[in-house]
Amino acid sequence: MSDLLERLRGRGWRMTAQRRVVAEVLDGEHVHLTADEVHTRAVAKLPEISRATVYNTLGELVSLGEVLEVATDKRAKRYDPNAHRPHHHLVCAQCGAIRDVHPDGNPLADLPDSERFGFTVSDVEVTYRGICPTCAVAA
């Protein structure tokens, strides 16, 4: 995701220590962190970073299409840096664990014109829910 920093600089982003740190936190393994979790991890690298800046930066990354907001959790929004490979989510109803999934077929194609009511449909979000192996054993 160091490409990310390049791309953003190209778009006129002023580069600050805070923004670099937020980008670092989102980089690497596929995560689905809440804003608060991002803040906690960012503080570990840059103790004085504020919550407001984390929210600001996440909001900008979302506007720029570099990060997705996902609402799998009925509590806080989660931020998904895997924005360039379309995918959906599988969520454990018990513990909240989230996995990226890639279903067969295209759900957009499954919505016939007669069910579009004149909308211009541009996007579809699919959330599978179930019980993960860990929680199944515990039950």
Q: Kindly report the number of other CB atoms within 10 A of residue 116's CB atom.
A: 10
Question: Which residues, in sequence order, are bridge partners of residue 80?
Answer: 68
Q: Which residue has the tokens 């039950």?
A: 139
| 69 neighbors 79 (Cβ within 8 angstroms) | yes
The H or E element that residue 23 is part of is: helix 17-26
Note whether 15 binds DNA by CB under 7 A. Answer: yes
> Rule CB under 8 A: which residues touch its own copies?
69, 71, 74, 77, 90, 92-93, 99, 101-105, 107-108, 110-112, 115-133, 136
- Out of 6, 27, 36, 100, the only residue in the binding site for DNA (CB under 7 A) is 36
Task: Collect all residues with Cβ–Cβ distance below 8 Å to 122 and sequence separation of at least 6.
Answer: none
Tell me the number of residues near Mn ion by CB under 5 A. Answer: 3
80 binds, among its own copies, Mn ion, DNA, none (CB under 5 to 8 A by kind): Mn ion
Shortest approach of its own copies to residue 6 CB, angstroms?
A: 30
Note whether 24 binds DNA by CB under 7 A. Answer: no
DSSP letter (8 states) at residue 94 = T
Instruction: Tell me which residues in 69-98 interact with DNA (CB under 7 A).
Output: 75-77
β-bridge pairing 78-80 and 33-34: antiparallel
Applying CB under 5 A, the residues found at the interface with Zn ion are 92, 94-95, 97, 132, 135
Applying CB under 7 A, the residues found at the interface with DNA are 9, 13-19, 34-36, 48-53, 55-57, 59, 75-77
